[in-house]
Structures are given as structure tokens and as C-alpha cells.
Structure 1
Amino acid sequence: MINLYDVQQLLKRFGIYVYIGKRLWDIEIMMVELKKLHDNGLILDDEYLPAILILKQEHRKEEEKEQKS
């Protein structure tokens, strides 16, 4: 898993499509959905941990971008 697109593809495998319209909010909802999948045992740590790290990194980038504007 390398980027946000890969995380979206992981969620898509479970029929989860996230589009709210604001990238920061999309990332936050993806985090919630990933946690639910992991808590219910549908994805294991080897998929969950890289995905959540990518989402945290993207979230940080979006927050920095918003602060600059």
C-alpha cells in the first residue's frame, strides 16, 4: 500500500465509497471505516496499519495546506 488511492481500493473491496466533497473530511471518514473493518476482523493488521498510516500522513498534509491558505 503506497498512497490514498490504494486505501480507497481497499475500502472499495468492501463496497465502501467515500466522497463528501472535502478531501480532509473524506480522509477522516476513511479512517472511521477502516477502524470498523479492523475491529470487526474483516481486515488484519498487515492491511490496517499501512492504510491508517497513509491516511494520517494525508490528513496532516491537508491540514498544513489549509493553514497556509
Structure 2
Amino acid sequence: MRQSFRSVYDVQQLLKRFGIFVYVGERLWDIELMMDEIKKIYQHQLIDQQTYLSAMAVLKKEHQWEKERSNKKD
């Protein structure tokens, strides 16, 4: 199952296929939890390396953007 991702929504759809729904209420925490779940799915060899790397790249980029955005609020 090789897949590339463009947005957090795409990653959420992948997680949903495994029955994983993430909503903590704080977007930054949601992204961090999604990163943990993607790592676990990859470690259990349920997704290939390219899918893992693509999903993590999207999540890391979005995580950084959210951190910068929250710093501007403060």
C-alpha cells in the first residue's frame, strides 16, 4: 500500500482505515498523536516505508507551522 500525502486530512484518512480516529481538541496535540500512531502502524509493518515517510513529512511540516502560529499568538 504505497501512498503519498498532501495534507493532514490525507493522513487522517489513512489512520481511519485502521480504525484510528484522533481528536484531542488541540491541533498541535492531534498532530503529535497522529505521528505516534503512524510510527506504531509502520513498526507493525502495516504500511511501507514510503507511505510512512510521506505521512510523517506532512505531519512534521504541519506541526512546525502550528508551533509557529501558536508562538505568534502569545
Same fold, TM-score > 0.5, yes or no: yes
Distance in 2, matches of 1:3 and 1:61, equals 13
Match of 1:37 among 36, 41, 50: 41
**Structure 1, unaligned stretches of length 5 or more?**
none
Aligned-pair RMSD on alpha carbons?
0.4
* Per-residue deviation, residues 28-67 of structure 1 (Å, max 9, x unmatched): 0000000000000001112110000000000000000010
Say which of 2, 13, 22 aligns to 1:9: 13
- Percent identity, aligned pairs only, is 55
Q: Does 1:55 pair with 2:59?
A: yes
Rounded Cα–Cα distance in structure 2 between residues aligned with 1:20 and 1:47: 24
Number of matched pairs:
69
CA distance in 1, matches of 2:14, 2:50: 12
Of stretches 21-30 and 39-48 in structure 1, the one that deviates more from structure 2 is: 39-48
Q: Could you say which residue in structure 2 is the equivalent of 1:65?
A: 69
AA partner of residue 14 (structure 1): F
Relative to the length of structure 1, the TM-score reads 0.98
TM-score, normalising length: structure 2: 0.91
